[in-house]
Amino acid sequence: MPLKSFLFWFSNEQSGFRFTELESIFRVFRFDLHHYRQKKVMGPFVLMNLPSEDHALKIMSRSVLAHSCVELWSIGDTLNELHDNFRKNLEITEPYVDQRLSLKVETFGKTISMAEKVELIDTFEYIPLKGPIDLKNPELRLKLVQFYGLDPNNVPEFPIKSFFGRWIADGQRHLMAKVSLKDRKFIGNTSMDPLLSLLMANFALIKPNDLVYDPFVGTGSILIAAAMMGGYIIGTDIDYLMLHARTRPSRARAKHRDLDESVRANFIQYGIESQYIDILVADASRPMIRDDIRFDAIITDPPYGVREPTEKIGSLKSYKIKEEHVAMHIPSKIEYCLCDIICDLINNASRRLTINGRLVFWIPVSRDTYEVEKLPSNPCFELIANCEQILTATASRRLLVMEKIREPDESTVTIMDSTALMYRFKFFENDGSKTRKERKKHANQNYGKGCKRGQLLPGHTDATDVAAEVQLPS
| Of the listed ranges 8-12, 26-30, 217-221, 241-245, the one predicted with least confidence | 241-245
Question: What is the rounded average pLDDT for all residues in the chain?
Answer: 88
Which pLDDT score is estimated for 330?
A: 72
**Residues 151 and 184 grouped into a single domain:** no
For residue 338, name the pLDDT band (cuts at 50, 70, 90): confident
**Residues 118 and 202 grouped into a single domain:** no
**Residues 48 and 167 grouped into a single domain:** yes
At 434-459, the pLDDT tens digits run 554 555 455 445 444 444 443 333 33
pLDDT of 14 over the 70 cut: yes
User: Is residue 280 one of the residues assigned to a domain?
Assistant: yes
**Residues 41 and 107 grouped into a single domain:** yes
Alpha helices in 67-134 (DSSP H): 79-87, 114-122
> What's the start-to-end Cα distance of the chain, in Å?
66
**Residues 209 and 333 grouped into a single domain:** yes
**Residues 150 and 195 grouped into a single domain:** no
At 174-206, the pLDDT tens digits run 999 999 999 999 999 889 999 999 999 999 999
At 281-297, the pLDDT tens digits run 999 888 888 888 999 99
User: Is residue 432 one of the residues assigned to a domain?
Assistant: no
User: Is residue 471 one of the residues assigned to a domain?
Assistant: no
The CA-based angle 291-282-318, given to 5 degrees, is 105
At 105-154, the pLDDT tens digits run 999 999 999 999 999 999 999 999 999 999 999 999 999 999 999 999 99
At 462-474, the pLDDT tens digits run 333 333 233 333 3
Which pLDDT score is estimated for 471?
A: 30
Secondary structure of residue 299 in the 3-state scheme: strand
User: Is residue 465 one of the residues assigned to a domain?
Assistant: no
Domain boundary among 146, 172, 198: 172
CATH of the domain at 166: 3.30.2130.30
Which pLDDT score is estimated for 461?
A: 36
**Residues 151 and 182 grouped into a single domain:** no
Secondary structure of residue 210 in the 3-state scheme: coil
Count the domains in the chain.
2
Domain span at residue 123?
A: 4-172
**Residues 181 and 152 grouped into a single domain:** no
Domain boundary among 384, 400, 423: 423
Percent of the chain with pLDDT over 90: 69
**Residues 140 and 199 grouped into a single domain:** no
CATH of the domain at 288: 3.40.50.150
CB 134 within 8 A of CB 98: no
Which phi and psi angles does 194 have, rounded to 5°?
A: -55, -40
Which pLDDT score is estimated for 466?
A: 32
Chain center to CA of 62: 13
Give which of 114, 73, 117, 62 is closest to 96, Cα–Cα: 73
**Residues 356 and 218 grouped into a single domain:** yes
**Residues 130 and 220 grouped into a single domain:** no
User: Is residue 463 one of the residues assigned to a domain?
Assistant: no
For residue 427, name the pLDDT band (cuts at 50, 70, 90): low
**Residues 119 and 203 grouped into a single domain:** no
pLDDT of 425 over the 50 cut: yes
Domain boundary among 172, 196, 215: 172
**Whole-model pTM over 0.75:** yes
